[in-house]
Every structure is written in structure tokens, then in C-alpha cells.
Amino acid sequence: MRSYRNLDIWQKSLEILRLVYNLSNKFPESEKYGLTAQIRRAVISILSNIAEGSGRNSNNK
């Protein structure tokens, strides 16, 4: 079984994560616990779902 870290979608999502973190660093300090935290959790969720899904024994995409 291939590691999820070798999947193209994982690599692209990791690029998006880095982009989101870089962009969200420019958000106002007042958004630190609001929008900034929410958008970062969302992008982490994408990576988590890919990792979880790749660990299942299924041919579904």
C-alpha cells in the first residue's frame, strides 16, 4: 500500500495548507481566534480526510 504522503492530492493539499497559513498570517490580529483559526482548521481537515481515506481498504474514490 502506498503512503498517503505520496499521493498527488496530498502533495497539492500540502501546498494549499502552506499558502493558507502564509496568507492568514496577514489577517488582522483581531481575527486570530476567529477567521484565522477556522480557515486553518478547515485546511488541516482536508489533509486529515485524505490520510484517513487512504487508509481504508476500498477502491472507491
- Separation between Cα atoms, residue 1 and residue 7, nearest integer Å: 11
What phi and psi, each to the nearest 5 degrees, are found at residue 33?
-100, 5
pLDDT of residue 9: 96
What phi and psi, each to the nearest 5 degrees, are found at residue 3?
-70, 145
pLDDT of residue 24: 96
pLDDT band of residue 2 (cuts 50, 70, 90) is confident
Each residue's pLDDT tens digit, 5-52: 999 999 999 999 999 999 999 999 999 999 999 999 999 999 999 999
pLDDT of residue 59: 61
Instruction: List the domain boundaries for the chain.
Output: 4-54
Instruction: Please tell me whether residue 56 adopts helix, strand or coil conformation.
Output: coil
